[in-house]
């Protein structure tokens, strides 16, 4: 797909879009995983103050695991670990997270694992042309919240020998895992009305680019249709300059009456502005998971990997999650309060635990998964409810959790 996108090949009609879409499902047939972690960064002395990107970047040390360091528009820190086997990918990224946490703490900063900024309003720091155009297109308040106040765990998985199977599993698991790992129930110090306020933000953005890709016996054809019917966000002009498209036209419309010849580069860039819960890019990007505590994110990665990649675990989980397949809004709003989601989550965690030895995971991680299940799944209390508890008492409890207690 990368080589194809680098060419100035013309895109003449829908069949060329479908060819591109099919290339997105051509990738490694193995079982590797790559993980991208986003964290909010807080000032220990003044958690209500925005932390400049430069201050965070200057405090970071060389990372021993080789993770790539980037920043989101609001200053969120993203660590993208090297792809590898599940044990190796987790071990390398965990070493980098710990190195970053230690160095930032010495600089008076803290990494917070939560899906939506629970305290500060959205403020954008990065002013790249792409971000300027995105901001204008997505609008207020949800565009600003998505760009500046959200944090997630993105799990990238090999497509395997049967990409359609893993694609279907990743989608069916979406509502249940969204509910189980919901961790964003506060905004500006108050309950936001959702267990996953981060997912609620996505629900309120342009649904031609954020809704799940419809189920289909041919995922590539479904992805092609999604690309064609998504509204154009922006067009790159004169190098880095971006022009916002405000008339509601779709890529299909643009293809019918282009202002200039369209290339695969244009199509590939359009694909980067589309954010469904699962996106194909030569691998599967699973994008629906709230950020978790800096010490417990491996649980989220291990469970997701096991249920998509391990056939026996997947077989046990799919029957439980299929009745919940359309429950994205309920999962985001109510978490595991819905008994159907809770029962399905319990089945999923049991299946994932049985797969841990087969996946080569150390017993310590299996114990962490079991402890998370006992605390958050069996009890029906995702991490979001722990956040809500913080605003029931003295006002300082939330600030202390962000900067002292909760992130240690």
pLDDT value of residue 290: 98
- Say if 377 falls within a structural domain: yes
What is the distance between the alpha carbons of residues 31 and 22, in angstroms, rounded to a whole number? 20
- Say if 401 falls within a structural domain: no
- Say if 405 falls within a structural domain: no
Percentage above 70 pLDDT, the chain: 96
pLDDT, mean of residues 180-200: 97
Using the predicted structure, report yes or no on whether residue 310 has a pLDDT greater than 90: yes
- Say if 407 falls within a structural domain: no
pLDDT value of residue 279: 98
Helix (H) or strand (E) holding 397: helix 396-403
Q: How many helices (H) and strands (E) does the chain have?
A: 19, 11
Q: How far is CA 267 from the centre of its chain?
A: 22
- Say if 351 falls within a structural domain: yes
Assign residue 133 the CATH number of its domain: 3.30.590.20
- Say if 398 falls within a structural domain: no
Tell which wins on pLDDT, 168 or 396.
168
Taking only the tens place, the pLDDT of each residue in 161-184 is 999 999 999 999 999 999 999 999
What is the distance between the alpha carbons of residues 277 and 209, in angstroms, rounded to a whole number? 10
pLDDT value of residue 4: 45
The alpha carbons of the chain give a radius of gyration, in whole angstroms, of 21
- Say if 408 falls within a structural domain: no
Least confident window among 97-101, 255-259, 327-331: 255-259
Q: How many domains does the chain have?
A: 1
pLDDT, mean of residues 349-364: 95
Tell which wins on pLDDT, 21 or 235.
21
Q: Which residues span the domain enclosing 255?
A: 4-393
pTM of the model: 0.94
pLDDT, mean of residues 132-136: 93
pLDDT value of residue 237: 80
Residue 5's pLDDT band (boundaries 50, 70, 90)? very low
- Say if 403 falls within a structural domain: no
Taking only the tens place, the pLDDT of each residue in 81-96 is 999 999 999 999 999 9
């Amino acid at each position: 797909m990368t080589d194809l996108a680098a060419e100035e090949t013309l895109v003449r009609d829908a069949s060329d879009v479908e060819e591109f879409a099919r290339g997105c499902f051509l990738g490694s047939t193995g079982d590797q995983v790559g993980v991208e972690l986003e964290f909010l960064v807080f000032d220990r002395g003044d958690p209500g103050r925005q932390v400049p990107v430069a201050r965070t970047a200057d405090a970071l040390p060389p990372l021993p695991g080789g993770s790539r360091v980037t920043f989101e528009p609001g200053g969120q820190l993203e660590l993208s670990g090297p792809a590898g086997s599940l044990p190796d990918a987790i071990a390398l990224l965990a070493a980098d997270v710990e190195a970053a946490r230690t160095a930032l703490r010495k600089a008076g900063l803290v990494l917070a694992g939560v899906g939506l900024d629970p305290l500060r309003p959205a403020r954008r720091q990065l002013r790249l042309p792409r971000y300027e155009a995105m901001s204008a297109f997505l609008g207020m308040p949800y565009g600003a919240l998505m760009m500046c106040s959200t944090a997630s765990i993105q799990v990238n998985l090999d497509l395997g020998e049967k990409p359609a199977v893993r694609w279907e599993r990743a989608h069916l698991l979406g509502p249940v895992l969204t509910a189980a790992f919901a961790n964003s129930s506060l905004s500006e110090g108050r309950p936001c009305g959702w267990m996953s306020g981060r997912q609620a933000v996505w629900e309120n953005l342009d649904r031609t680019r954020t809704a799940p890709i419809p189920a289909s016996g041919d995922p590539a054809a479904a992805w092609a249709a999604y690309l064609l019917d998504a509204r154009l966000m922006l067009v790159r002009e004169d190098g880095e300059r971006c022009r916002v498209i405000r008339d509601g036209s779709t890529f299909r419309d643009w293809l019918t009456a282009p202002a200039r010849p369209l290339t695969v580069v244009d199509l590939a860039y359009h694909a980067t502005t589309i954010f469904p819960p699962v996106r194909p890019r030569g691998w599967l990007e699973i994008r629906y998971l709230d950020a978790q505590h800096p010490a417990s994110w491996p649980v989220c990665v291990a469970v997701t990997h096991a249920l998509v990649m391990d056939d026996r675990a997947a077989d046990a989980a799919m029957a439980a999650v299929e009745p919940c397949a359309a429950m994205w809004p309920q999962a985001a709003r109510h978490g595991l309060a819905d008994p159907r989601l809770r029962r399905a989550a319990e089945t999923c965690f049991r299946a994932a635990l049985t797969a841990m030895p087969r996946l080569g995971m150390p017993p310590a991680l299996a114990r962490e998964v079991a402890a998370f299940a006992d605390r958050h799944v069996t009890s029906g209390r995702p991490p979001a409810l722990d956040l809500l508890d913080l605003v029931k008492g003295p006002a300082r409890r939330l600030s202390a959790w962000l900067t002292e207690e909760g992130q240690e």
